[in-house]
């Protein structure tokens, strides 16, 4: 467990006055039983392992990078930069052995770091600076000692916990040029501990002159307008395939498809649910593909329950980038193998945790029903029968398949989402598409919902599929609204979210591929209202 010590580094010409001291005083009030330590120009290089590097640091930022590493290596605790505005106490972070955050999903940031004393990740970080002589190179501090080096050394370590941007970086870097910046209270989320205010205090703590602030605001407005128009055009073009074929048959019941963004995707050639549309159009369920691009952000965590071959798992992982995370659940062994191949083909193994299990209300073996030709209509509760009762009737029409049964039945492992999803990490999106067993999944994630960490649930609502489970699903939809305070939307053809009333969903005996239960409307794109 990380010791209750909070560290900061204050080096000349910076002095702990004004905003810097105000933030530190606030930290002290939030942590009355913590030791508060300020490190500065009183450090004697002879007393530090990295001390001989102090004089070679070309900037105060690089020197602060070096000092914070050895401080945490020696004493443990949590380090914060002087331009971090506290939002709430950091006690919940003490359970990690080593943590830091990501600002953009691509790079690790050392603005806020926590560690037990002597953690091997810190040793590796320090050794990289010692062994490679980076401080002698003519490179900026972020490459010599800061985020770029942290990403290179720590990015693939399993003993490092990377926290999402909203923990420490809910305000984007470009916001520092805004003449009317939002307050920390307005950008913070329930999972925000500090707000990095991008003060660049090592360069100049004084505010920019009014003329410069005005110029920054004007440029940001112009650049932002151009970027928004360019992105809108790209969004329209990105779902239009170039002329030609969308896929080819590879043999061994496999087809290779090119997705709208150019990514490869393997499909089961004999499947008559997803594969025909993928081969004909290069995409399946285009509206949800567009929706994902609107709502998932770098560094987010998401869940795909009923991942199938990984069409949406792959896109989720690409959107949350290197230091985001996706949990994918697929109990069909063959589809899970194809999903694993698709993750490897797109270099996404780091971002995605593949669970070869069904998401259920109770952990244990359950009966899985695999459709002979429509692989997307397979599941553990086909026709609304509970998993332990077996059978494959109910909402599905029995059709004859020469030489084989309509459904093949076999056992698969079942697990509760509460038992496998990380605690204390917000989930931007939980997609649930399990052919009638949606209430089973929801029953197994009560604790996650009670903890308030889910921003959106995307639920397939098809009454014929649910059959005997329909009333349980109805109860859950009403509970999500009345107990958990969700607003209800459906995904429109352009990927936007359109508001609806939950009673309309319940009263309509139709097919709703994507019903959104939104617990935080800030998570929705601007076009959704």
* Closest-CA residue to 420 (of 396, 400, 395, 448): 448
Bridge partner residues of 78 (DSSP): 6, 114
Our measurement of the distance from residue 50's CA atom to the centroid of its chain's CA atoms, rounded to an integer in Å, reads 35
Other Cβ atoms less than 10 A from the Cβ of 209: the count is 9
**Cα separation of 427 and 433, whole Å?**
17
- Name the DSSP letter for residue 55: G
pLDDT in single tens digits along all 529 residues of the chain? 999 999 999 987 666 678 889 999 999 999 999 999 999 867 888 888 888 888 888 888 889 999 999 999 999 999 999 999 999 999 999 999 999 999 999 999 999 999 999 999 999 999 998 886 777 767 788 888 899 999 999 999 999 999 999 999 998 766 555 555 667 777 888 899 999 987 755 443 333 444 444 444 444 445 555 555 555 555 544 554 444 557 888 889 999 999 999 999 999 999 999 999 999 889 999 999 999 999 999 999 999 999 999 999 999 999 999 999 999 999 999 999 999 999 999 999 999 999 999 999 999 999 998 888 888 888 886 644 444 444 433 344 444 445 556 888 899 999 999 999 998 899 999 999 998 899 999 999 999 999 998 999 999 998 888 888 889 999 999 999 999 999 999 999 999 999 999 999 998 867 888 999 999 877 776 545 4
Domains of the chain: 5-196 (3.90.550.20), 247-523 (3.40.50.150)
Closest to 2 (Cα-Cα) out of 28, 34, 24: 34
Cβ contacts of 161 within 8 Å, gap of 6 or more: 96, 97, 98, 99, 100
Beta-carbon contacts of 230 under 8 Å, excluding residues fewer than 6 positions away, are none
Distance CA 128, CA 135 (A): 11
Tokens 């494959």 — which residue? 392
Burial of 348 (0-12, 13-18, 19+ CB in 10 A): buried
């Amino acid at each position: 467990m990380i010791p209750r010590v909070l560290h900061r580094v204050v080096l000349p010409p910076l002095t702990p006055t004004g905003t810097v001291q105000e933030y530190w005083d606030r930290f002290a009030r939030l942590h009355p039983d913590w030791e508060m330590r300020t490190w500065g120009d009183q450090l004697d290089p002879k007393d530090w392992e990295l001390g001989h590097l102090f004089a070679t640091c070309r900037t105060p930022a690089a020197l602060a990078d070096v000092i914070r590493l050895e401080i945490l290596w020696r004493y443990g605790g949590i380090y914060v930069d002087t331009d971090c505005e506290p939002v709430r106490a950091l006690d919940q972070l003490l359970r990690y052995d080593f943590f830091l955050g990501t600002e953009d999903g691509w790079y690790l940031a050392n603005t806020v770091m926590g560690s037990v004393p002597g953690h091997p990740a810190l040793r590796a970080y320090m050794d990289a600076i010692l062994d490679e002589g980076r401080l002698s190179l003519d490179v900026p501090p972020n490459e010599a000692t800061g985020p770029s080096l942290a990403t290179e050394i720590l990015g693939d370590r399993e003993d490092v916990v990377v926290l999402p941007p909203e923990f420490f970086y809910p305000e984007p870097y470009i916001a520092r040029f805004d003449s009317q910046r939002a307050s920390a209270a307005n950008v913070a989320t329930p999972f925000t501990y500090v707000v990095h205010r991008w003060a660049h205090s090592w360069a100049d703590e004084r505010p920019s002159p009014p003329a410069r602030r005005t110029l920054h605001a004007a440029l940001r407005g112009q650049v932002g307008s151009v970027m928004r128009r360019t992105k809108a055009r790209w969004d329209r073009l990105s779902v239009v395939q170039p002329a030609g074929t969308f896929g080819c048959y590879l043999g061994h019941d496999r087809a290779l498809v090119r997705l709208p963004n150019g990514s490869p995707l393997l499909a089961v050639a004999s499947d008559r649910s997803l594969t025909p549309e993928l081969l004909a159009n290069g995409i399946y369920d285009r509206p949800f593909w567009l929706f994902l691009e609107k709502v998932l952000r770098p560094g987010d965590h998401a869940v795909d329950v009923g991942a199938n071959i990984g069409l949406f798992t792959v896109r989720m992982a690409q959107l949350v980038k290197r230091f985001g995370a996706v949990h994918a659940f697929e109990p069909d062994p063959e589809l899970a193998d194809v999903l694993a191949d698709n993750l490897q083909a797109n270099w996404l193994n780091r971002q995605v945790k593949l669970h070869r299990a069904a998401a259920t209300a109770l952990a244990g073996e359950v009966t899985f029903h695999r459709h002979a030709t429509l692989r997307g209509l397979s599941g553990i509760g086909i026709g609304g029968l509970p998993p332990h009762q077996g059978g494959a009737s109910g909402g599905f029409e029995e059709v004859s398949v020469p030489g084989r049964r309509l459904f093949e039945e076999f056992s698969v492992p079942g697990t509760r989402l509460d038992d496998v999803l990380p605690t204390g990490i917000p989930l931007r999106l939980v997609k649930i598409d399990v052919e009638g067993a949606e209430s089973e999944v929801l029953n197994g994630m009560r604790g996650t919902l009670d903890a308030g960490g889910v921003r959106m649930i995307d639920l397939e609502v098809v009454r014929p599929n649910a059959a005997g489970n329909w009333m349980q699903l109805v109860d859950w939809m009403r509970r999500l609204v009345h107990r958990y305070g969700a607003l209800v939307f459906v995904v429109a053809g352009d990927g936007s979210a359109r508001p609806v009333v939950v009673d309309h969903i319940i009263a309509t005996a139709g097919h709703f591929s994507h019903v959104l239960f939104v617990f935080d409307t800030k998570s929705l794109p601007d076009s959704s209202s």
